[in-house]
Each structure stands twice: as structure tokens, then as C-alpha cells.
Amino acid sequence: MNGLILPSSFTSLWDPPANVAPGGFWFIFRAGKLLVTTSAGLPDPPGIAMGERPPLPVSDRHFVGLLDGVACWVASCNDIEPPAGFVFETLRGLFNHLPDNLLAVAGRGAQVVEFHRTHCHCGVCAALTELDDFGRARRCKACGEITYPRIAPAMMVLVKRDTGHGRELLLAKGARFATIYSALAGFVEPSESVEDCVHRETFEEVGIRVCNLRYFGSQGWPFPHSLMIAFTADHESGDIACQAGEILDAQWFPTGNLPELPSRFSIARRLINAAIAEVAPDHPALRK
Ligand SMILES: [Zn+2]
């Protein structure tokens, strides 16, 4: 269960090696949706276009690396119908359908395409930009300003406490994702450490203090360009008091009575599963 984490079989590169075969995988986006093969409702999993050339006209192309030695290209196209046998689909719509390794590369591709789409003009002088640094950046043709893809670090923390009745997890339902309870999360502010962000956001969102922060892991999250940095923490003090406008509800959930949990593609789910596995290795949530 790797979620959107790039597999070890992927080699991150920005310039195609001289000996690589022409073409490869084509991750082509149209208005944020990815071109995938379809089997007209049959149970075959969708796939990514392969070949020497993209299967439709593209307006740009960028090399992003090798997957099992096969070149991976990302590209975007304008308002054009997919060729026969293909459809455009959102990345979220491809969760549980597209193989994990392809989905992870698609997540990288979505961010690369979005970066180039939104940085055609310089943020300083508004002149046109061009590719720089082997395509991983853009440079202003007039003033020379260089811009790299924006990545927004965000912390995630799963707060837990062990009571006489067993382990409880603090899960919250945010105002923006009102259907699912999950770990707490929030964006890091300028000059703030991730650890300080954990303490600040936890107190702001649910009014409690935490201790014993332990780093869990991180994951790129291409919606649109976050890096989730996840921790576990123990409850130190305070009762839950939800931040108005941000948190609809937050509760201590016993591991034996959990609400619907986030998708297995999110680091939130891996974080929650790890906390469950410590006390209940046979918990049914770990099999989903
Ligand atoms: Zn400029």
C-alpha cells in the first residue's frame, strides 16, 4: 500500500538519457484530467498511453523520469476529444483503478503540467518565460527571474491517547471535506518549523496541547501541490473545542469503533492504520 508515493522502480530525471528508447508512457492532461485507456466498463484496469508519439496533439511535453526503464513524458492538450479507446479522468476518480505505480507518476505529472501552465509569465515583470534547468524551472526572458515548481508543505498529525479502555484516536471532520473524519492537518506558515505548525494547528483547530511528536513519513499530494509531512503525537492536556468555520466535528474514537476512514491513497490512512496496528494487528480496517 504505497498511496501516491513514487515506487522504487521510478527514477526521477528531467532530461531523457541518451540511450533510452524513443517515446514511452504519455501522461497527458486536459484541464486537470488524465488521458487513460478505457475498456468500456469492462473490469480491465485503465492504463496510460504508450508509444513513440502521444496519441493526440499536445501543446507541450516534459520528461519526468523512467518507470522500470521506460521513459515517462507528461504533456497537456487543449480542448480536444480523446481518441478512440481513451477517456479523460480525474486523478481522484482513478484511485483504486489505475495501478499504484502509474498513479504516483501521474501525480508528479499533474504538478509539473500545472506548474508550466500557471508560470508562462514572470511573476516579477509579467514578460514571457521559457524552460530552464533542463525543464524543471522557468526563466523570464526579460528580467531573468527563475521560478521552480511551488510545493506547499503541510503538517498532518494523528493525536492518540491510551485510556483504561484502550487506544483512542482524535479524528476531525473539516469544513472543506465534510464527509470523512481524518487526522488534523494544516499548512506551514512562513518561517515556521513543521513541529511548531503541529502545535499551533492542533491548538487552533481542536483546542488541545500535544506532546511526544514522532515523525511518521511524508507524501506528495498533487491537489494541487502539497507535501504532507505526517506525525503522531500524544494528548497532553485540554478538552476538544472545535475551531468555528474550520472544524465541523472532532472526537476521540476508540480503535474498536472508528468512523469511515480516508482513502488508502492518502498518508492519513497509513498514519491511522499504523496507530491501529500497534494495538490491534488484526483490525479489519487494516485489510482495506
Ligand atoms: Zn521577469
**Per-residue pLDDT tens digits for 245-258:** 999 999 999 998 99
The Å distance, Cα 30 to ligand 1 centre, comes to 27
- Write out the three cell numbers for 145: 527571474
What's the CA-to-centroid distance between 121 and ligand 1, angstroms? 8
Q: How far is the CA of 129 from the centre of ligand 1 (A)?
A: 8
Domain 152-287 class, CATH top level? alpha beta
**Where does the pLDDT of residue 99 fall: very low under 50, low under 70, confident under 90, or very high at 90 and above?**
confident
Confidence of residue 189 (pLDDT cuts 50, 70, 90): very high
Cell triple for residue 76? 497537456
Residue-wise pLDDT for 135-159, tens only, equals 889 999 999 999 999 999 999 999 9
pLDDT (0 to 100) of residue 3: 62
**CA-CA distances (angstroms) from residue 38 to 46, 48, 91, 153, 260?**
5, 10, 15, 35, 30
> What is the reported pLDDT for 182?
95
In terms of DSSP bridges, do strands 70-76 and 24-30 run parallel, antiparallel, or are they unpaired?
Answer: parallel
Q: What is the pLDDT of residue 164?
A: 87
Judge whether residue 1 has pLDDT over 60.
Answer: no
Distance from Cα 123 to the centre of ligand 1, integer Å: 7
Ligand 1 centre and the CA of 142: distance in Å? 5
The percent of residues in the chain predicted with pLDDT above 70, rounded, is 95
**CATH of the domain spanning 10-118, picked from 3.90.79, 3.40.50, 1.20.120, 3.30.70:** 3.90.79
Q: How far is the centre of ligand 1, averaged over its atoms, from the C-alpha of 2 (Å)?
A: 40
What local confidence, expressed as pLDDT, does residue 93 receive? Answer: 87
- Give the per-residue pLDDT at 4: 76
What is residue 22's predicted lDDT score, i.e. its pLDDT?
86
pLDDT at 94 over 90: no
Residue 263 burial (C-beta neighbours within 10 Å; 0-12, 13-18, 19+) = middle
Q: How do the domains of the chain map onto residue ranges?
A: 10-118, 152-287
Expressed in angstroms and rounded, the spacing between residue 139 Cα and the centre of ligand 1 is: 8
Average pLDDT rounded to a whole number, residues 181-198: 96
Q: Determine the distance separating the centroid of ligand 1 and the alpha carbon of 122, expressed in angstroms.
A: 5
Residue 126 has pLDDT above 60, yes or no: yes
Would the pLDDT of 39 be above 70?
Answer: no
pLDDT, position 2 = 57
Using the mean position of ligand 1's atoms as its centre, give its distance from the Cα of residue 34 in Å. Answer: 31
